[in-house]
């Protein structure tokens, strides 16, 4: 894979760089000898984004498996912990619904 300096890339022209990327060539661009960007096809970027999302999802699943003790808390116990009761929550929900209805 040939690295082009920004100056060389400018001389080559945007159309030529895009055409090469569309054919599957990856073109690293450097400034002062350091790669700062790369011209790649839209397909390649889409695949990389998909892979990134898949890896993020996999990391979340692995973290969940690593930290999940298997203990579950039912809703009533959670509400008790937060000093809530069903009647109060239902009243708040009804008030919010009424407010939303009045505003629309």
The number of distinct structural domains making up the chain is 3
The pLDDT assigned to 24 comes to 93
Looking at residue 54, its pLDDT comes to: 97
Q: Which domain holds residue 50?
A: 42-70
Q: Please, are residues 45 and 38 in contact by the beta-carbon 8 Å criterion?
A: no
Phi, psi of 32 (to 5 degrees): 55, 35
**Looking at the structure, do residues 80 and 57 belong to the same domain, yes or no?**
no
d(CA 96, CA 67): 35
User: Under 8 Å CB-to-CB from 24, ≥6 apart: which residues?
Assistant: 41, 44
Ranges of residues in the chain whose predicted pLDDT is under 70: none
**Residues 13, 36 within the same domain:** yes
Please give the mean pLDDT across all residues of the chain. 92
Q: Residues with Cβ < 8 Å from 12, sequence gap 6 or more?
A: 4
Query: Among residues 38, 32, 26, which one has the least CA distance to residue 1?
Result: 26
- What pLDDT sits at residue 33? 93
Give pLDDT, residue 100.
83
Note the pLDDT of residue 15.
95
């Amino acid at each position: 894979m040939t690295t082009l300096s920004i100056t060389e890339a400018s001389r080559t022209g945007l159309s030529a760089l895009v055409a090469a990327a569309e054919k599957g060539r990856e073109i690293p661009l450097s400034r002062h000898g350091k790669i700062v960007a790369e011209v790649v096809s839209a397909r390649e970027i889409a695949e990389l984004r998909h892979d990134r999302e898949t890896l993020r999802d996999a990391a979340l699943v692995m973290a969940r498996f690593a930290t999940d003790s298997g203990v579950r808390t039912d809703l009533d116990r959670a509400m008790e912990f937060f000093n809530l009761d069903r009647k109060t929550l239902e009243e708040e929900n009804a008030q919010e619904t009424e407010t939303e209805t009045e505003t629309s």
